[in-house]
Amino acid sequence: MKLKKNIPLIDQHDKDGFWGKKFGGSFIPETLKKPIDDLTNSFAKLRNNKKFIQKRDYYFKNYIGAPTPLIKLENLSHHLGGAQIWTKVVSEANGGAHKIYNATVHALICKSMGKKYIVGDTGAGYAGKMLSMAAKKFGLKCKIFMGIKDIKRQKPNCDAIRKNGAEIVPVYSGSQTLVDAVSECMRYWVSNCDTTHMAVGSTVGPNIFVKICGWSTSQISRELKLQIKKEFKNFPKKIKLINCVGGGSSAYGFWSEFIDFPKSQIELIGVEAGGPEKSRLHAAPLSRGAKIGILHGAASYVCQNKDGQINETESISAGLDYPGVSPIHCFLKDSKRAKYTYATDEEALKAYKLVTKFEKLNPSLEPSHAFAEAIKCAPKLSKDTIIIVNSCGDAKKDRDILKKRLRRKI
Ligand SMILES: *Cc1c(COP(=O)(O)O)cnc(C)c1O
């Protein structure tokens, strides 16, 4: 499996929408074909439209607050010895995480297509929260589809969604979680596609949603590339870009500008959720040998049992607690351009403790998985190696769980 040079990874799929012939595609009912084709055509035009790009960049800057800072974690680097550790504080974006990039672009697409309603599905609630935020900003009516089980366990996010003026549509079918919320949301979209746009919250789902999300989050690596050039007189010879991977949108956004660099110069390391040490459950399909399956309308490595039933997953971080992963990361794994590993719940907590002990940074539990990997490898590396971690979320949202697990206020 080989990557092509000079072509964005989001465009390196075949005519059926598959990356590396196996991953992605659009596994959708016939009734979804028309709205998906319409969206595909509109997006193809918009992404090449100067006015649309200007509008996107205007809101990235003046609504999201881009560029987010690149800072050096001097105390942590000094404590660990070895490589220099830097971080891009993407959590300083409006809303406290990278999901706002994708939500904003979807709201702009919705408006450009002349639609007034936007719908989306959510599991842990963060994608729904960000979409409702963007909908409010751009004056769109918003419905968020959510399994009733998730509604019950994610109350703060549900409150935030409603506060933004969006409606939560409870889903009672099947497992009453994300998988069924996705199906319900798509069904609703089919019946209302003349007035309504649909968004997916990560680089997952039918091919077009992977592309839109990747196109949106790639802003992060455009910024990072400029920041590295500005910071270092000579572009460093050894860089490791470490990012947590749930669906994979922040990792793709962090890496997209660097894919064509040689592996020996820029290494890409994805860190999945290994779950609790004592549990057999995890959310690490790439690093723990899951088989290919179909989830969310696309083929990817999926945590499943030997009969092909989707496995329940378990992770301390809600954002990473997803049994599938972006087809783009499956492609990056099989082409060996990126490496994937995992950190356990305990390792992520330990990393959180160490980072906050030495630095004025408050990474949520998702990027704490990435920091766990940085902490593992930094001491073994030389000073001229630059590790950059994407600090893609703020720990404010994890306050209760951190209080419980670390017995301290944050
Ligand atoms: C949702 C979320 C993730 C996981 O999603 P990706 O698509 O893999 O980025 C990671 N970190 C934070 C802070 C999130 O909110």
The predicted pLDDT at position 174 comes to 86
Atom of ligand 1 nearest to the CA of 253: 9
Q: Which of 366, 369, 401 to mutate to test the pocket of ligand 1 (most atoms within 8 A of CB)?
A: 366
The predicted pLDDT at position 410 comes to 55
CA quadruple 95, 97, 99, 105: dihedral sign: positive
Coil, strand, or helix at residue 383?
A: coil
- By C-alpha distance, which of 137, 140, 65, 57 is closest to 97? 65
> How far apart (Å, rounded) are the C-alpha atoms in residues 156 and 401?
13
Atom of ligand 1 nearest to the CA of 213: 7
CA of 121 to the centre of ligand 1 (A): 15
> How far apart (Å, rounded) are the C-alpha atoms in residues 365 and 27?
32
The predicted pLDDT at position 180 comes to 87
CA of 18 to the centre of ligand 1 (A): 23
Domains identified in the chain and CATH numbers:
28-61+98-214 (3.40.50.1100), 66-96+219-405 (3.40.50.1100)
CA of 31 to the centre of ligand 1 (A): 30
- By C-alpha distance, which of 239, 256, 241 is closest to 331? 256
Atom of ligand 1 nearest to the CA of 96: 13
Residues of the chain with pLDDT under 50: none
- By C-alpha distance, which of 158, 92, 163 is closest to 124? 158
Q: Which of 89, 202, 396 to mutate to test the pocket of ligand 1 (most atoms within 8 A of CB)?
A: 202
* Smallest CA separation from ligand 1 atom 12, residue: 393
> Residues 353-410: pLDDT tens digits?
999 999 999 999 999 999 999 999 999 999 999 999 999 999 998 998 999 999 865 5
Ligand 1 neighbour 320 (Cβ under 6 A)? yes
| Contacts with 268 (C-beta within 8 Å, 6 or more apart), sequence order | 241, 243, 251, 255, 258, 259, 332, 337, 338, 339
Cβ pair 352, 333 in contact under 8 A: no
Atom of ligand 1 nearest to the CA of 124: 1
Coil, strand, or helix at residue 243?
A: strand
The predicted pLDDT at position 408 comes to 65
* Smallest CA separation from ligand 1 atom 1, residue: 319
Q: Which of 320, 328, 352 to mutate to test the pocket of ligand 1 (most atoms within 8 A of CB)?
A: 320
Atom of ligand 1 nearest to the CA of 394: 13
Measured in whole angstroms, the distance separating CA 213 from the mean position of its chain's CA atoms is: 9
The predicted pLDDT at position 179 comes to 82
> Residues 35-46: pLDDT tens digits?
999 999 999 999
Coil, strand, or helix at residue 273?
A: strand
Strands 167-171 and 385-390: unpaired
Strand ranges in 11-97 using DSSP code E only, listed in sequence order: 18-19, 23-24, 70-72, 84-88
* Smallest CA separation from ligand 1 atom 14, residue: 319
> How far apart (Å, rounded) are the C-alpha atoms in residues 251 and 230?
22
